[in-house]
């Protein structure tokens, strides 16, 4: 990736593992600042240290997006952001309404 995301900030949910973490690292390589959201505080801290040490601005937001209050807090931090990458997993069981 080139620096096509320079001067942009991305809010990436599920940033502590899997696709979310991979997206955070790749977009950081492309010049983006990262607002990383995840439930695992230790993994968030490690990701933030990794990005900070490579010169990337990173805001770590510990939130469980299945909880409305925490989701609202994460959204609050993203209001002025240009892009949103959602990669968290969410499973719900039940019937879909007609």
Alpha-carbon distance of 28 to 77, in angstroms, equals 18
Top pLDDT among 68 and 97 is at: 68
- 38 pLDDT band, cuts 50/70/90, is very high
Return the exposure string of 31-48: e unless at least 16 CB atoms fall within 10 Å of the residue's CB, then b: ebbbbbbbbeeebbeebb
Q: What is the pLDDT of residue 41?
A: 94
- For residue 23, is it left (φ>0), alpha (ψ between -120 and 50) or beta? alpha
- 19 pLDDT band, cuts 50/70/90, is very high
Residue 55 pLDDT exceeds 60: yes
- Domains belonging to the chain, first-starting first, are 9-85 (3.40.50.720)
Structure tokens at 14: 């599920």
Average pLDDT over residues 12-31: 94
């Amino acid at each position: 990736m080139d620096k096509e995301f320079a001067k942009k900030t991305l809010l990436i949910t599920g940033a502590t593992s899997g696709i979310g973490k991979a997206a955070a690292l790749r977009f950081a390589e492309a010049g983006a600042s990262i607002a990383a959201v995840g439930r695992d505080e230790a993994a968030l801290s490690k990701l933030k240290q990794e990005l900070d040490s490579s010169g990337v601005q990173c805001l770590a937001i510990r939130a469980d997006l299945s909880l409305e209050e925490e989701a609202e807090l994460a959204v609050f931090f993203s209001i002025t952001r240009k892009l949103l990458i959602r990669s968290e997993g969410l499973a719900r069981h039940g019937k879909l309404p007609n």
